Structures are given as structure tokens and as C-alpha cells.
Structure 1
């Protein structure tokens, strides 16, 4: 029996879940406007009490690898590493976009092209493309969207979802949109369990989230008097 704690902090929806052999036994999520750092350990503690499990019973910890919020991913990484180091258990990383795909894939046929999107501001998103049967079409990547971005799928049953997709409804009126889909720890179970069985563990000393693009900060300009 593999008991795995999953954490997702890649967006403003902070979620934690516990899976046993890939099956969900409990989860909690919160919509937050500020940092996840102070609440995440509390949420984990509450969830473990709810499912009547103890931290020392865990076999692994899984976390959202990104893409997503730079700060959120850093907090999730630090928390997951802390559990892994303290408990002496391995850590596995799951792409945030894959947990979104897991939620939507059962709704469509194997031939549909599903494109989860996480908002990267303005007309840019983080996305990947997969067939409904899980066949990878596009690797995860940042994409500045225009009217020709998805021209290769003109004859396909195309589906957009995620918080990055809403701004494209007018641009792509013939595409199907699925609302209210976001990265979720509750949907990491099967992916995390598969990596656990294959021993695809992360190196705790060197692991970094997959931001997909360089993080930038806006430095205010300074004016000097002569």
C-alpha cells in the first residue's frame, strides 16, 4: 500500500490531497489571494486528521512541478522538500497541466485535442496539447496566442480549459471551452502513484520547479537630479 501526500500551489487555488494506491481518500482546497506559505502546513495537518492518517505513515510526497505562479511553486517545493527530508520519504513531481488534463479527459473522446492553459498574463499562456487518450501532441510550453496558434488543429475536436483560456473565447468561437478547471492535488493520485512504482523520484538537493520561462521582476526606474 502506497500512501502519498500531494500538494498543488501553482495557482491561487491551494490544494492538498492524500491518495492510497492512487485512489483519493481525502482532499482540501482554498482560493487564496496571498501567499500559501502560512496556511499550507495547517491545511496538511487538518487533512491528515480528517483521513485518520499520521505523517509518519506516508510513503511519498508529490508536488506540482509547474508551470504556474513563481512564488506559489517555490512555497510548494520548500514544503514538499521539508516533508520528504523530515520523514525520509521520496518526492515525485507532477506537471500542473497534466492534473488539469486528468480532470477533463473523461469528458471527451480519445481523438479530441485537449489543451489546458494556465494564464501567463496578457496574451500568453502556459499550455500543452494531448489527445483524449493521453497521446502527447505538444510538450508543455509558454505560448503567445494569436489567431493562427492552433491552425494545425483546424479539423480536430479542440478543447480549451484552465484560467488562461477564458480570454480566447471570442478569438476561437468554434472551440469547446470547459469552465472552472485548475491544477488540483486531488487529481495527482494516479500520476504520482505511477511515478512512485517506477521510482521516478526527484533529487531533493537539486530539484527546482519547471517555470517554463525565466522569472522577471519589474524594477522601478530611478530619477536622478543633476
Structure 2
């Protein structure tokens, strides 16, 4: 299977080309508020580096949200352009699930993803191998309320929540990555791919609510 994965849900902009169960190459950089500017260039550089042929891909994977309002729209628009040009399916991948993948944790854990102000998206997962199962739907809450929803012995991880952390918060940092988007897209291709993604929109809060216009 050949997949191009795109990640624009946070300040990092990234693309990964995955083939036959391996991530062949990635380009990922900090690009806060510059996704629209750098994404086409990253795509061309990755294409030149790996020599993949767009028409031969099995699909385009996109980190679908929740996350940055503008970043998600930029990424999805770019992914749709590539997909429509060659009749390829899109594979929308829940961003919080990719963060769960980034933890490397086996068993129960929670991830918190910065939104704005004191608000965070959060969700708990049971993870084993390449299988990531959400334990409840993604939510957006104030930081203090989100933390209270997890027991003291739950392993917690955060992305972008530095300004909200206190000394008593033993929460490890993780980052979004197109590498995790690619892996989950391949693992869940049959269940998640969309052959006609015209109505697909970014998912700003519910991590498994795909394909519905809002």
C-alpha cells in the first residue's frame, strides 16, 4: 500500500510517504500560521526525494482534527486537490488518535491537545500495537476540568499545553506528526477511507465523526 500523509493540525506542518508498511521519508517543520505557504513546497520536495507517483497512491491521508481552525482547512483543501486530480480516496485520521500513537503507550492513557486560552481537547485511549481504541468521544474543556476527568494513576500526555502546566502536573509532552497519520491511515484504511470526499470537513471536536458537513 502507498499512502501520502499530511499533518497541519498544529504549528507543525508535515508530510510522510509510506509504502508497504514503512514510512519511506518525511518532511516536518515548525510552520506556525504558514501552512498554506510551505505545504506545496514540502510536497514537491518529498515527491522529488521519494519519486512517488501520485496516480499510483492508494490514498491521501489527512489529520482531520480537532486542532487549528486554519491549519486543518489548509491541509484538507490541499489533500482534496491532490485526491480529486487523480480520483484517489481520502483517509481522514483523528488527530487525537495520532497523538495517542505518539505516546508509545500500551494500555489506558489520556492525551490533551491545546486549543486556545485555557481550553484543551482531550480523549482517553486503550492502545496496543497499531490498534488505538478511544474510550470516550473527544471533548473540549477548560484545562482544570479536563484534568479532573482522569484518575491520578492515569498516564497523561500533552501537546502544546506548556502555558497551562503546573509543577504538580506530571504530564509528558508529545507532538503531532504525519508519520503517525500515515501509520493509522494504513492500519485503518478499509474502515476510514472515503472515495468521494466532497462533503468532508475538518472535525473540530468529535474525533470519530467523519464526513458530515457542519
What range describes the TM-score normalised by the shorter chain of this pair? 0.7 to 0.9
Is 1:11–1:183's contact at 8 Å kept on the other side of the alignment? yes
1:203-214 correspondence to structure 2 within 5 Å: 203-212=196-205
Distance 1:120 1:185, change over 3 A: same
> Does residue 53 of structure 2 align to residue 54 of structure 1?
yes
Question: SS at the partner of 1:131?
Answer: strand
- Per-residue CA deviations over 1:161-199 (Å, capped at 9, x if unaligned) read 2112x234327x2x53222x2221111122101332346
RMSD: 2.1
Question: SS at the partner of 1:208?
Answer: coil
Q: TM-score of the superposition, structure 1-length normalised?
A: 0.81
Match for residue 158 of structure 1 among 141, 144, 155 = 155
Q: Tell me which residue corresponds to 1:177.
A: 171
Q: Tell me which residue corresponds to 1:200.
A: 193
- Per-residue CA deviations over 1:131-176 (Å, capped at 9, x if unaligned) read 3444422311111122x54445335232222112x234327x2x53
Question: SS at the partner of 2:36?
Answer: coil
Q: Distance in 2 between matches of 1:97 and 1:57?
A: 29
Is 2:16–2:179's contact at 8 Å kept on the other side of the alignment? yes
> Who wins on radius of gyration, i.e. which is larger?
1
Question: SS at the partner of 1:38?
Answer: helix
Q: Distance in 2 between matches of 1:90 and 1:135?
A: 23
Q: Distance in 2 between matches of 1:99 and 1:129?
A: 12
State the shift of 1:207 in Å.
0.6
More helix by share: 2
83-92 or 51-60, larger mean C-alpha shift: 51-60
Is 1:129–1:136's contact at 8 Å kept on the other side of the alignment? yes
Q: Distance in 1 between matches of 2:192 and 2:172?
A: 34
Q: How many residues align?
A: 203
5+ long unaligned stretches in structure 2: 207-214
Q: Which consecutive segments of 4 or more residues in structure 1 shift more than 6 A?
A: none
Q: Distance in 1 between matches of 2:106 and 2:89?
A: 35
Q: TM-score of the superposition, structure 2-length normalised?
A: 0.85
